Each structure stands twice: as C-alpha cells, then as structure tokens.
Amino acid sequence: MKRLLLAAAFFAVLLLLWEGAYRAKIWSPVLLPSPRQVVSYLESAAADGTLAKATVITMRRLLVGYFIGLVAGLPLGLLTARWKLFRDTIGTMALGLQTLPSVCWVPLALLWFGQTEAAMLFVVVMGTLWSVVIATETGVRNVPPIYRRAALTMGSKRLHMWFQVILPAALPFIVSGMKQGWAFAWRSLMAAEIFVTILTGFGLGQLLHYGRELSAMDQVIAIMFVIVVIGLLADKIFFSPIETFLHRRWGTSQA
C-alpha cells in the first residue's frame, strides 16, 4: 500500500511539473500542450474509435509477427545448439543479424514486399527471430551436463530428453530472449509504421506520424503515452508472471 502511494505521488509530481511548465509558457503551447489537452485528445480518439482501431491493427501485426518469430526461432536455436554445422552457419548468421538494429530491415522490407502487411510482418519477425535463436542456443548450451546424465539413467531419450529436460532447463535463457525479441519487434514495428503508410490499416505508428505532420503535439504525446502503456502492460501481464515463476522455482531472486 505504501509502495503504491509513493508511486502515485511520484507520477502526480511529474504531472504537476508538466502542468507548471505549460503555465509558465517557457515553450510555445504548440510544442508543449497541457496534460488536459493530451487527455482530451485521448478521450476523443477513444470515443470515435480511432484509438481502438489503431491499437488493434498494431497489436495484430506485433502478435502475429512475434508468434512467427518464436515458432521459427525456437527450433532454429535448438538446431544450432545441437549440431556444429548449424552453429557455424545459422548460428553465425543469427549473431550477425542480431547486431543489426531491427529498424534497418524496414527499407529492405518495403522494397521486397511493397507497402503491404507482409512488409510489416517481415520487420517484426526479423526483430524477434534472431534474439530467440541466440537465447535458445545459449540456454541449451548452458544446461548442466549432469541433468542430461541423470535423465539418461532414468530412461529419458531423444524427444523426451528435449522436451522434458533440455528445454525446461534452458527456460530462463529462453524467456529472457523472448523478452528481448519482444522489445526489438515492438521498436521495429513502430519504426516501420512511422516510416510507411500502409493502406490496409492505420496503426499507432501512423497516428504518431500524422500527429507530427499536423503539428498536433497533443496527439503525438498521447500516442506515445499509449505506446508506453502497451509496453508496460505486456511486461506486467505476460513476462512478469513467467519471470516471477522462474525466480521462485530456480531460487534466483529474493523478491
């Protein structure tokens, strides 16, 4: 309860400072709208459905692309961990491509796929995939050999060994890779949406882009706020429970 109050107080102070800066007229109101203007934009965008529609479009792109990235990345990671041939080829490629900021895929995606949903998906998949591949490989290769040996003596082999021993043992690594992949995918999708208008759907990035075009700072700030909230929610709803579970099971954290 005390923690909650302190956090609430912190954000209240932040809002007050903002309001104060607006009233002091240090910057033009075009550049710094008041918190109330931002809220009223949010209200109108929520009322006419713009916000919900854009959020749904963005989240669909993100989730579908992320899912594809996971489904492709996990087996590729397992292969690179298991066979030297894959490590030298796909593993090296993944390592290289992971260092490439995922925004850099946007120009290529546009040239290949044009202004289509496929381009958006491609960018998200590229953002997710390599992090997941590398995390899975690292995780599997860090599984203590004693687990494998113990499982072997109990009669575990092949698929059972992979699914009941190697994968669970590598889970902490895999989850942190999934989290990183999510962050990369989210960033690259926003970049793609800001750069390109795609007629099949207006996402949050596009709203942000038009906010800039119209010099509608209230819209820009409001959409940024929505993007932050989505990021926070993804963390709290999806990743935090998994991480809490892992920490509790593995005993890796006091919290």
Partner 1 sequence: MRRTARRRSTATEELQPIAPSKLAIEEVSKSFQSASGTVLALDRVSLNVAEGEFVCLVGASGCGKTTLLNIIAGLERPDSGTVQADGKPVTGPGRERLVMFQEPALFPWLNVFGNVLFGLKLKPNLTKKDRHDVAKYYLELVGLSRFERANIHELSGGMKQRVSLARALAPNPRVLLMDEPFAALDALTREQLYGDIQEIWKARRKTIVFVTHNVREAACLGDRVLLFAPHPGRIQEEFVVKLPRPRDINSVDLAAHATRITKALKSLGQAETVAVK
Helix axes 2-23, 35-47, angle to 10 degrees: 110
Q: Phi then psi for 100, rounded to 5 degrees?
A: -75, 120
Q: Which amino acid is at 197?
A: T
Among 165, 190, 192, 221, binds partner 1 (CB under 8 A): 165
Q: Quote the least distance from Cβ 249 to partner 1, whole Å.
A: 5
Q: Which is nearer to partner 1, 200 or 244 (CB)?
A: 244
Query: Burial level of 16, CB count in 10 A (0-12/13-18/19+)?
Result: exposed
152 binds partner 1 per the rule CB under 8 A: yes
212 to 251: interface string for partner 1, x by CB under 8 A: ------------------------------------xxxx
The CA dihedral of 225, 193, 124, 168, to the nearest 10 degrees, is 10
Q: Quote the least distance from Cβ 148 to partner 1, whole Å.
A: 10
Contact segment (CB under 8 A) with partner 1 among 45-53, 91-99, 156-164, 191-199 equals 156-164
Residue with tokens 């795609």: 198
Total binding residues for partner 1 by CB under 8 A? Answer: 20
255 binds partner 1 per the rule CB under 8 A: no
Closest CA to 34 of 250, 245, 218: 218
Token digits for 219?
A: 């819209």
208 binds partner 1 per the rule CB under 8 A: no
Q: Which residues bind partner 1 (CB under 8 A)?
A: 146-147, 149-156, 160, 164-165, 168-169, 171, 248-251
